[in-house]
Amino acid sequence: MAIAASQTRYRVEGMDCASCASKIDKAVRGVTGVEDVSVSVTAGTMTVKHGDGQDLGVVEDRVRRLGYKVSPLSASTPAAVGAKPAHDHKHDHDHGACSGHDHDHAGHDHGDHDHDDHAGHDHAGHDHSKHDHGAQGEAPTLAGLHGHDHAPSSGPWWRSSKGVLTIAAGIALVAAYGIGHLFPSIAVWSFEIAMLVGLIPIARRAFVAARYGMPFTIEMLMTIAAVGAVIIGAAEEGAAVVFLFLVGELLEGVAAGKARASIQSLASLVPKTALLEEEGRTKEVPAETLAVGAVILVRPGDRIPADGVIVSGESSIDEAPVTGESTPKRKETADTVFAGTVNGDGALRIRVTATAADNTIARVVKLVEEAQESKAPTERFIDRFSRYYTPGVVVVAALVAILPPLIGGASWNEWIYKGLAILLIGCPCALVISTPAAIAASLSAGARRGLLMKGGAVLETVGKITAAAFDKTGTLTEGKPKVTDIVPLGRQEAEVLRLAAALEAGSSHPLATAILAKAAEQNILTSVATNSKALGGKGVTGSIDGLALFLGSPKAAASETALSAEITARIEALNQEGKTVSVLLAGGTPAGLIAMRDEPREDAIAGLSALRAAGVRTLMLTGDNARTAQAIGGKLGLEVHAELLPQDKQRIVNELKAQGLTVAKIGDGINDAPALAAADIGIAMGGGTDVALETADAAVLHGRVSDVASMVTLSRRTMTNIHQNITMALGLKAVFLVTTIAGITGLWPAILADTGATVLVTLNALRLLRVKAG
């Protein structure tokens, strides 16, 4: 049985490098009662999992003693450790009779529908209030609009504590040079005092870390090198080294702030105020106070302040700031809209479906911040490596300082100086930051394009996939039927569509909706049939201007009137293409055929081609009938497995893995749960809030098939970036190790090698923020 535990998230200010995160992690882990710790430099957060009744004051005190400001963001209610989030989309969605997510259009009897039946997945009516997205159980007193306090990354660098310290150390160093020239007799003292300005805070952090079981920190190596420099009479270089170290730390902080701001800038897209409708009037209120169910007015050109459903009005919505989708989408009554998107040309009244702390953007920001706290396999390996690497460097530095004078009678000062330089070269900062910096930048870049990955481990694995198994309905296809063919039989095509639309007017059944949408697309004006009536299991009847009409399945139509062999053959040919066929009778004679099919998404062919070009095998796993599946699969050019139950999908995924393939399963995250869990990576695909963000390893927010290929590309670019970073970090150190022992370079170049490598690695990682995901 799982042990009950609580979880508390903190904002940590001043944590700008990987060694900072490592120190905090180890110090907090040493507190009795703490079960697990996750720290993210880029997000500036720490999550502590602890027992009930834990004294969190001890945790906070340890972090503060290490030199960082810490403030709680949220505390969770007790939950089972290792348990899945309680969020269950299955209970929140009524998919209806037509949904099943691999429904059989070809076998659908048009006569089965009732005009009052609202079968099908009702995206627009989706009520966010049912969701308990906050698996963390966020308290209502969260700082900031979305439960994120962005203060650590705000303000100019020179006002930060590190900025002030660096400036002070720089002024002290310049003053020491001036005093040294004017009064040579006290030059050494002036440089020692200048060095102490920067060294005292560094040394204090070093000794606090040592007290918590971390003797080999960058601060300790820095302190030893600076004190050693004074002992051998190199106080001037010692002061310069301390200053350069502080500059390096400051640059790391600025770089970390940029990566942090990249994802947090999403939250700033949401306007601070909203126009709330109350008793027929509108008033301006803070957006964060909007309750679920409130109705707001959004004027043309304004940003939408909350997730919601359009109650009245229609407009084009620019979703580019949130989804990266460049073309504005036309939306009307009952359509879903997201906070942060821009209203175009029409006024909208919107019913709020999620609070500010639970809207799509807030959830994405929180997901990415939590993802940045989880370590990738490469990062975990480097962390383990650095545990041995740093003590090893200390041993090598000691041997370099001691052995030549002892064995060869060389100068003690010269070789102690070289030993101190090696200490600085051996700082693991650049190596340790090489992976998390790249992964944090990549997770942020992906999130801004609607590609969500839950941590570094997922990001690494996505790039390794060799097989991608897609669900059909709602994943490869739009998830709703469209009219594909209108076959006139003795009447004009437009007349066939007009009469069929008149019969279906007012119905919300998916097949009826497809006919009405086709009529609207062709600008056909439709009247409403009189005496319309649904015949259970057969179709629908009615009349226009005294003309009796019937629209239903071929079987039902054949019972009303004889269908010629030519018509029957045409129906069969359309069925072979996986299409549902309805027959329109006018005055008791066949007037036309209307064929419908759930068509592939616009980018499906290009998206699948991109995956195959990347060396990924593509498959369709569907519960739909084989005829429909083969028709769609043939059009898309992928391997088809049809008429599968959920356990069959899981079995096929396991068989692919047994063949040595790394498998991604892409589906809606709901009825594909067993297969998503069995795959190496489960990717949920859907439209924004309807996607099961909390249950899959990764998610594609826009429902674009091509985004799966984009995710693979982003992952592979990230791993290339990480390898470049590791090569730069180790390469620079190797070069300066040789030049130091050869006597070509000394303390200054040594600290520049460490600081320079760290800055280069961080800047290289930040390039991923500018990478296009496609």
Cβ(436)–Cβ(379) below 8 Å: yes
Choose among 269, 266, 287, 253: nearest CA to 155.
253
Choose among 261, 224, 218: nearest CA to 433.
218
Cβ(509)–Cβ(113) below 8 Å: yes
In this structure, the strands spanning 79-80 and 4-13 are: antiparallel
Other Cβ atoms closer than 10 A to 321:
18
Question: How distant, in Å, are the alpha carbons of 323, 324, 339, 358, 749 from that of 304?
Answer: 14, 16, 5, 15, 53
DSSP string, 626-667: HHHHHHHHHHHT-EEE-S--HHHHHHHHHHHHHTT--EEEEE
Cβ(640)–Cβ(630) below 8 Å: yes
Question: How distant, in Å, are the alpha carbons of 181, 626, 632, 636, 639 from that of 476?
Answer: 75, 16, 9, 9, 13
Question: How distant, in Å, are the alpha carbons of 199, 243, 429 from that of 418?
Answer: 20, 19, 20
Query: Tokens 């697990």 map to which residue?
Result: 36
Distance of CA 143 to the CA centre of its chain: 22
DSSP 232: T
Cβ(534)–Cβ(540) below 8 Å: yes
Distance of CA 500 to the CA centre of its chain: 44
Q: Which pair of structure tokens corresponds to residue 26?
A: 């180890």
Question: How distant, in Å, are the alpha carbons of 65, 277, 669, 719, 728 from that of 700?
Answer: 42, 34, 11, 20, 33
Cβ(325)–Cβ(301) below 8 Å: no
SS3 255: helix
Helix (H) or strand (E) holding 314: none
Query: Tokens 């004074």 map to which residue?
Result: 230
Residues taking part in catalysis: 471
DSSP 496: H
Q: What are the start-end ranges of the E strands in 405-538?
A: 451-453, 467-470, 477-488, 530-535
Assign residue 643 a region (left: φ > 0; alpha: ψ between -120 and 50; beta: otherwise). Answer: left
Cβ(708)–Cβ(451) below 8 Å: no
d(CA 582, CA 756): 71
First and final C-alpha spacing in the chain: 44
Buried/exposed 559-577: b ≥16 CB within 10 Å, e otherwise? ebeebeeebeebbeebbeb
Q: Which pair of structure tokens corresponds to residue 769?
A: 């923020």
